[in-house]
Structure 1
Amino acid sequence: MMRVALDMSHVRQTDAGTARYARGLSNALRARNDVIVDEVGEGPLIGRGLQKKVLTAEQDLFWYPYAGRRAAQVLDADIYHCPAFRAPVTRGRPALVVTVHDLVSLRFPETMPRWSRFYTRATLRRVLDSADLLITPSADTANDLEQLAGVGHDRIRVIWNAVDDAFYAQPTGRSPIDGPYVLFVGTSEPRKNLQRLCNAVDLLRRRGLDHKLVVAGGGGWGGVDLSGSHVIRLGKQTDAELHQLYSGAVCLAQVSLHEGFGLPVAEAMAAGAPVVISGEGALPEVAGNAAVHVNAYDEESIASGIERAVTERDQLVILGRKRAELFRWDVNANLHVDAYRKAL
């Protein structure tokens, strides 16, 4: 029986995909009969008889490595897995596994805040020095680790992210948006390419396609101007609300300049929404031939892709649902257990 200590100390610090990944992985591993899972910390706390401390971003960088080492020493685990981009200073047992979701701060530093760039560089060295195995959600991120950080191929395992089972079922209610709309899910930041997407939807409206742009996601930064009566900003949504939005959309448009995975693409396909993606980062890897591919830097290409998603809806929904079966949590858990065995 393998014992896995899963570091959950970041979960309440963020509502981003990393926290959803950690919760989903914990649940999927607990459903197995060959793994014992210990969750280390409760939200931003290091628990199990250790000092409990809420971490700011600065404290996370300088305090966490040593609190994490203490947690790794106290737990009689075979594997200590950090599902967010962090790692304790530790050697020997338990084996240390770290998930690296993307290296956007290194690959496209101009699209990220200064603190994020500093944090990534400082943390990356510690992760590379300490981890026995690195997990990435895409071959694209694995390639970044090899090319930008010099990590050997044998230290990396690619395991695609997974979609919660609820997205595969029929939604419990209808979308709150009246009329046809193009959906974007995520934070508003420069690399998400929202300005070009907004302009592309405006192009379609001037041609007589009366669609709105719905932006669902919390926070953001970078001063993206999404003015216009055709733009609806909803803010952070629950999974149930997201499911309704996916199901009611004419398409999901995820035309980012880079993604380490792109979970909304997989969720939308599971929920039966046509998908339009850019050819950047891991998005083509995730969507395969089940989405309309466009040029992220060309508003006309984005607009034409949305038009195509509207006219080819039925075929795209069929292809998307089939593709979404690759992102089930039971498949994901199997691959994680295989990776843990490799790390031992």
Structure 2
Amino acid sequence: MSAAQDFNVAINGKFLSANPTGVHRVAEELIRALQTIIQERGMPPFTAEVICPSDIRRSFEDGLIPMRKGGVFTWQFWEQFDLPFLARKRLLVSLCNLAPITVSDAITMIHDAQVYLTPESYSPAFRSWYQFILPVIGRRHRRILTVSEYSREQLALHNVAPKEKITVIHNGVDHMNKVGVDPSIIDRLGLEKRNYICALANTQRHKNISVLLKAFSENELASCKLVLFGAADRNAFAQELGVEAPANVVFAGFVTDEEMRSLMEMSLGFACPSTTEGFGLPPLESMLLGAPAIVAPEGALPEVCGEAAVYADAFDPSAWSGAIARLRADEAYWSELSQSGKARAAQFTWRKSAEKLLAAINAELLDMNSAEQPITASKQMSA
């Protein structure tokens, strides 16, 4: 951890104290990509540090953007009470939806508008907190970032922030190229190459996994398996959604990145039937690894996947069973989708994303310092 220095940008590191999620991955990959840019350029026009609570569970090893622990609270209390003091007189950058509401010199990434679009996917306490705090952040902070044009439209529609105040920074997906493989999970789950579909084990309503359970109940897919990885198990789907999983559904539980890569690479494809998505990273990860994505034409999925994915009606199980059956039966069709998916996914890199974040930070710093003298070399980052 660094000692306190003359930094003019503070990055909110609260996410480092929580179990990693997709949103947290975005923050980590953006910070790593920023570190690469700093290493290459040596002296960007700002100095940054990651400020985090004392109970962090992981950290960045590089140190190009240093880290500093501080504060007495944890969780939301740390973010709302400690962080504003620790980041005072600096531009605060938060990348995981939430940020202090008492600051104004801030850039915050809000990934989606799901608490407005599908409130039933969240607990009453969670959605009430988000529906309260997001518009406050959107009103008070200098700039709002989000991950797709779709999310930008929805955040503006639900009065979180005006469109002109929201900048789109797509996620990258090239982190999957750095992940190793662990093919032992294939044998452990009793799977056959290209005879199973991957999807998320998630019971949130908007993830819509119930349509896949119904599709795999049809005779057309009786000899194919659906592999669900994540927290939810067979009982969770029955109790929370009232849908029984057929025998050809395999619950893999939590998997490592290496296991997930192996599952995706050897699969027939990845299914994402969500009724709304702010971005849709898992299908893009699968596409990069050569496994076609079957997605619903909803939310940001068409924006992200383009013409390189198979589309199926979110509410029609037969559409899903038919699309999956065609992938199994038509080798040329599968190969064409595999190649087009790789090409599409390769366009989404964390380097491109970090460059846009860098531009947003520079623009707000310039605005903050427009009436002051230029930032001197003593305040610049040394490699």
- Structure-1-length-normalised TM-score: 0.88
Report matched runs for 1:20-31 at 5 Å: 20-31=25-36
> What does the per-residue CA deviation read over 1:267-290, in whole Å, with 9 as the maximum and x for residues that have no partner?
111111111000111111110001
1:69 aligns with 2:95: no
Write the distance in 2 (CA, Å) between the matches of 1:304 and 1:71.
55
Q: 2:120 aligns with which of 104, 110, 126?
A: 110
Aligned to 2:141: 131
C-alpha RMSD over aligned residues: 2.5
Equivalent residue, structure 2, for 1:333: 354
Distance 1:305 1:174 in 2: 28
Find the counterpart in structure 2 of residue 218 from structure 1. 231
Q: Which has the higher contact order (CA 8 A, sep 6+)?
A: 2
Structure 1's 49 and 308: CA in aligned 2 closer, same or farther, altered over 3 A?
A: closer
Letter in 1 for 2:347: L
- For residue 37 of structure 2, give the secondary structure of its aligned residue in structure 1: coil
- Answering whether residue 343 of structure 2 is matched by residue 322 of structure 1, we say yes
Distance 2:48 2:232 in 1: 32
Where 1:149 maps in the other structure, the secondary structure is coil
Match of 1:313 in 2: 334
Which residue of the other structure, out of 54, 62, 70, is the alignment partner of 1:50? 70
The Cα shift of 1:188 comes to 2.8
CA shift in 2, pair 1:197/1:146, >3 Å? same
Say if 1:135 and 1:186 are closer, same or farther in 2 by CA, change over 3 A: farther
Amino acid at match of 1:267: E
Q: Which amino acid aligns with 1:38?
A: E
> Displacement of 1:141 after TM fit?
0.7
Shift of 1:13: 2.2
TM-score (norm 2): 0.79
Residue in 2 aligned with 1:299? Answer: 317
Whether the aligned pair in 2 keeps the contact of 1:88 and 1:130 (CA below 8 Å) is no
Amino acid at match of 1:65: Q
1:150 to 1:97, Cα distance in 2 relative to 1, 3 A:
closer
Does residue 156 of the first structure (1) align with residue 204 of the second (2)? no
* Unaligned runs of at least 5 residues, structure 1: none
Q: Which amino acid aligns with 1:80?
A: L
Q: Which amino acid aligns with 1:98?
A: T
With over 3 angstroms needed to count, the CA separation of the structure-2 counterparts of 1:49 and 1:25, relative to structure 1, is closer
CA gap of 1:342–1:31, structure 2 versus 1, over 3 A, is same
- Give the one of 255, 269, 285 matched to 1:237: 255
The CA distance in 2 between the partners of 1:292 and 1:64, in whole Å, is 41
Deviation of 1:208 (Å): 6.0
The 3 A distance-change label for structure 1 pair 260 and 217 is: same
Distance 1:67 1:130, change over 3 A: farther
Gaps of 5+ in 2: 1-6, 39-43, 57-66, 366-383
